[in-house]
Structures are given as structure tokens and as C-alpha cells.
Chains A and B, each alone.
Chain A
Amino acid sequence: METTKDQILESLKKQIEGFKTGVHAEKVGHVLEVGDGIARILGLNNIASQEMVEFENGEMGVALNLEEDNVGAIILGSDKGIREGDQVKSTGKILSIPVGEALLGRVVNPLGAPVDGKGEIRTNTFYPVEKIAPRVIKRKSVNTPVQTGIKAIDSMIPIGRGQRELIIGDRQTGKTAVALDAIVNQKEEDMICIYVAIGQKESKVAKIVADLEKRGAMDYTIVVVASASDPASLNYIAPFAGCAMGEYFLDKGKDVLVIYDDLSKHAWAYREVSLLLRRPSGREAYPGDVFYLHSRLLERACRLDPKYGGGSLTALPIIETQSGDVSAYIPTNVISITDGQIYLESDLFYKGIRPALNVGISVSRVGSSAQIKAMKKVAGKLKLELAQYRELAVFAGFGSDLDEATQKQLNKGDRLTEILKQVQFANVPVEKQVVILYAGINGYLDKVVLPKVKEYEEKLYLYFETKHKEILKTIKDTKDLDKDTEEKLKKAILAFNDAHKFE
């Protein structure tokens, strides 16, 4: 004890003795006007765009508009303590945030400061918030899946590592639920997850963090929060900050999943900032570069070539539509940027189909090449079956007499739809998904009455876990469903059907 005390004293003494008094020279500007989270600054002639500035009361800002005789800056925090005529220092640093392993399991604001009360975050690495996305040479096409544990998504709208898949839907259709399921399912996948909440209610964020903690998902997750009560400037930089935190792990060769919840509110925040900076407004009063804003953010999602580290950054942006209007400005923009979209519909949600996926119009443009072979074999048929079912279901609605073939098709479709229903946080590993979908599309469930499909599914999983673990293991390890395994699988399901009745 005594020695450490001495060491501290010694080191302090050395520092004090070694300190050279000097003259500190710097260039400053002065606040011309301040309000609405924006400051106009006179002076600061040599400032760069996106450079951080420091106000006299210690508040930070970012210079966004460099005009002929003044500088327009957003204030990252409250504008309350800043007065006209205050000195403003330029820091010479482009807006950057702390990144590193220390952030895992923490809830931070977009500037990397903790907001969960768990103490200081110690890290020495800083990443710029805005960064040019990896170029063509560094990239590789998507080839590994992100397993979300949601049957409907993993089978029909597969997401690959490095893909950008949009989750779009009205309020209260379970968009966040899909994203959270995806995070929770990464527990054994060695993936880092980053959840960026933009303009969300603090209560909702608190619930999300509690949910993740309960399921042990916070160990590999960073939550970045810019809540509805934070200034627009923080909401504006939040997704870029989340992406920068992900890029740190990407550079380490890891796989990262970033969720932006949601980009409509991000666009609102950017609109507010832009209008206050008096940039010209365009359609729906959004500034002209709102497309570029989102495209440069989502372009940073990538799968790197093994020569350049081989990590990946998968982006799951979320967009909230107003009463299903996907042709509004921001939804169309983001749809065209992303590699596919997952549509959630309130009609389906209220019909009890949860997740309320509209599998007819949801697509994944690159994900299918990332799907494991076993899943590909069952999913191809599944898509076809469901498409035919939807077509027939329209006619069946009229109640006319149906021939046997149609009846059978409808019957199977009903059961497949039932299989695809799934409650939140009930993730199914991919090998089990293959088993149940295989049983479904090959008609082994046709004798099961609809209300008992869930029970059938659960018992089938249990049966395979206890009696046929080797089949699950083979599918998991080889990722394929070869002739041999398929035969074994078929036999096992038939044996199960004989032993159990669901009528």
C-alpha cells in the first residue's frame, strides 16, 4: 500500500517538475447568433467541414455550413449555456467518437458517452463518424448467412453477412421485434451487434435493454441512444456513430450486425437541422441530399475480402411508413438503396400472423446465395407452395365447391402459414427450421388439425433432440441435406407421426 502511495507521489512530482509553463496560442471565433440547437459563428477562417468546435461553456459543436462570412454549426447538446459573443475554439479534429471493446454491453449516446450509469468507458481509439465506404477492390460478395432464428425470414428472405436488408412497416407491426430477435439469435454466432435507437422513447429503449439483458444478449451488444428528447443534432449523427463503432470490429475481422431504428426519424432530424441551417428544401421539405445521407450510411455495410481482414458489417435499417404508404419519399429512397426488404403489414398482424411478414412482396436480392444448402432445398419448394396457396385462397374465399387437389393445396398452405408463425424471442436454430419445414412441405402435417400445429412442432423438436440428435448435428455441421440424411429424416418424421396423433 505504502509503495503505491509513494509511486503516485513520485510520479506526480515528476510531472509537476517536468511541466514547462508556456504560452498557449489559438484561433477563436465568436458566436453571432444561437438558437434551436444551431449556432452561427464569426471568424474561424480555416475551419474544415465536419470539424468539431468547442464553445466557452465546454459544449461541443460540429461545423456544417461554411459560408462566406460565417460558419453554421450544430450544437451537440444543449444550447442553453451559450451566449452571443462567446468564444468558440476550433479543435482541428473531424467529428470522431470513442470505439473499442469497452463499449460492449453498454448503453451510450451518439458521442460515445455512457448513459447507463455503469461508470466511465475507457478506450483510446477514436473513429471518425463519417468515413468513406470500402471500395470495390476490398469487397466480396455475400456468402455467409445471418441466422435470425425467425423461420419465415431464414427460409424465404435470407439475410447474408454484409447485406443491407430494410425492415419496413407501419407503427406497431413488430419491426423492432424482428430486429431484436436477430440480435438475440447471435448469441452463439460470434457476431457483434449494435442497436442504434434514433428518436425513440426512452421507455422503449429501457425495455429493449432489459429484454436483451435478460437473454444474455448485452454481452455482445452496444446500444446507441439518441432519444426523442435529445437535440436533432444528436439524432442526426447517431446512425453514423453506431456504424463507426461497428467499423472498429469490422477492421478486426469480425462480423457485425447494425440495426438503425429507425431511419424515418433520422430523416426528420436531418430535415430539422438542414432547415435551421437555411439549406434549400425539396420534396416533403427534406433537403436535396437526404438520399445521399442514407446511401452513404448504408454503403458502409460490406463484406470484406479475406485479404483485407474478411470481416463484415450487416445493416438492418428500419423505416416506419404511414398507413402502408411505401411510395413516400424516404421509404422509396431507402428501398432503392437496400438489397431487399422485409414488409410487415398491420392487417396480417391483426389476423394473428406474427411476425406479420408479407412474404409475397418481401425480397432479399443477395441473401439466397448465403443460405445453407439444406435450407435452400426446403425453401425453394416452400416459396412455390405459398405462392400457389395465396392464389387459391382468394378463390376459396367465395365458398364454392372445391376439387380434392385444390382442397389439399389449401390444407397444406394453412399448415405452412401456421408453421411460419412465431412469437417473439422464440428463436429456432436453423437445423430445426429445416426439419419442420421439410415436414411441412412434404405433407407430413396434413393430418394435424390447425390449432395443434404449434404443439406438433414443439413435440417434433423434442423428439429429434432426444431420439435423433445425430440428424440435427449432421445438418448443422455439413449444412447440407444429402440423400442419406434426407432418408433418415423422412423415416424419423414418419415414426414420430405414427407415435403421436394430433386430431
Chain B
Amino acid sequence: MKVSVKKYAEALALSLKGDESPDSYKEKIDNFLKLLQKRKKLKLTKRFFPAFKDEWYKIIKKIEVKVTVPHRLEEAEKEELSKLLGSAFGKEVIMNVHVDNGIIGGLKLEAGEYVIDGSLAKNLEMLKAQIISSNI
């Protein structure tokens, strides 16, 4: 049977769990790569990392969120946002903050396959679409 990338990622993530010493990590990853080589699946490594990241975060109960803001955030703001997101997702949040003044104002969150866009730019876009479609 064909084993998908997702299955490999899940297997590695599960085997890494528990024993947290760097040595055992290294050994297990070495073994994993050897296994891939044996099965002639080394070309999967390119697609492997994102899949593994998803699985790993699932196991250690963390979630990675990409936050896009219009200006640089203060440390206190960051902390508050992190806390807020943590309670919303029910998981510990790893925040990647991007500064992009193209969104004008508001906030945009990307977590896994969800995109939550509350930016001013998006709202203006929606207003534009609404005016065009109303056909005055």
C-alpha cells in the first residue's frame, strides 16, 4: 500500500514524542531518513517538512499563527495578543508577526488553513465589490 507523506509525518512525530533528549531526537531522525532511503522515498523530503510541522504542533498542542499588522507592535501588545489568541484557539500560540502597511489598518490572522481577515484593506475591497455588484 502507498504510504502518504502525512502518514510518514505522523509516524515520526509520534515516535519523537515523550523522550525529549537531543540525542534521541538525532538518532530517531537519522533512522527515519535511513528508512526513507531504503524505501526510495527521499524525494518526499521536500513535502515532508510542512506536513511534519502540522503533526508536531498537533501533538505538542501548539498552533502557529501568522499575524499581519500595519505597524510594529510593542512588546506589551504582542503579549496581550498572544494571550488573546491562546484563549481563542485553546492552545499555546506561536506568533509570527509580519509588518505590512499595505493592509492600512486592522489585523489579519493566518493559522493552518484558516485565514481571518479583519484588515481595512479587505473591508475596502468588499465595499468596492458591493458597489460594483449593486449596479447603480
Contact = CB atoms under 8 A, between A and B. Distances in A.
Interface of A: 7-8, 11-12, 15-16, 19, 21-29, 32, 42-45, 68-69, 87
A395 B122 CA distance: 82
Contact of B122 (A12, A15, A19, A24): A24
A12 B4 contact: no
B113 A69 contact: no
Contact of A15 (B116, B117, B134): B134
Nearest to A122: B135
A8 B122 CA distance: 24
Contacts of B114: 25-28
Given A22-B126, A25-B115, A69-B4, 6 more contacts: A24-B126, A26-B114, A26-B115, A27-B115, A42-B50, A44-B113
A15 B130 contact: yes
Size bracket of the B interface: 20 to 34
B50 A15 contact: no
Contacts of A15: 127, 130-131, 134
B123 interface: yes
Contacts of B118: 22-24
Interface string B43-61: 0000100110000000000
A24 B6 contact: no
Contact of A28 (B113, B123, B126): B113
Given A12-B136, A42-B50, A21 B123 contact: yes
Interface in B85-136: 112-118, 120, 122-123, 126-127, 130-131, 134, 136
B6 A69 contact: yes
B113 A27 contact: yes
A22 B130 contact: no
Nearest to A42: B50
A149 B136 CA distance: 47
Given A24-B117, A26-B115, A69-B5, A32 B127 contact: no
Contacts of A27: 113-115
Contacts of B120: 21
Contacts of B6: 68-69
A22 B113 contact: no
Interface SS of B by simple majority: helix
Contact of A12 (B51, B115, B126, B131): B131
Contacts of B134: 11, 15
Given A8-B136, A19-B127, A24-B122, A87 B115 contact: yes
A28 B123 CA distance: 18
A15 B127 CA distance: 8
Nearest to B51: A69
A28 B4 contact: no
A43 B113 contact: yes
A23 B118 CA distance: 4
7 contacts: A7-B136, A19-B126, A23-B116, A24-B117, A25-B114, A25-B115, A27-B115
Contact of A16 (B4, B5, B126, B127): B127
Contacts of B116: 23-25
> Top 6 closest A-B pairs, CB basis?
A23-B118, A43-B113, A24-B117, A25-B116, A69-B6, A21-B123
A437 B126 CA distance: 67
Given A68-B6, A69-B4, A22 B123 contact: yes
A22 B126 CA distance: 10
B109 to A, nearest CB: 9
Contacts of B4: 68-69
Contacts of A28: 113-115
Nearest to B113: A43
A383 B45 CA distance: 70
Name the residue in A19, A24, A68 with the highest tally of chain B Cβ atoms < 10 Å from its Cβ: A24
Contacts of B115: 25-28, 87
Contacts of B130: 15, 19
Contacts of B50: 42
Contacts of A29: 113
B136 to A, nearest CB: 5
Nearest to B122: A24
Interface string B22-48: 000000000000000000000000010
B113 A25 contact: no
A25 B127 contact: no
A105 B118 CA distance: 44
A86 to B, nearest CB: 13
Contacts of B122: 24
Contacts of B5: 69
A24 B127 CA distance: 12
Contacts of A43: 112-113
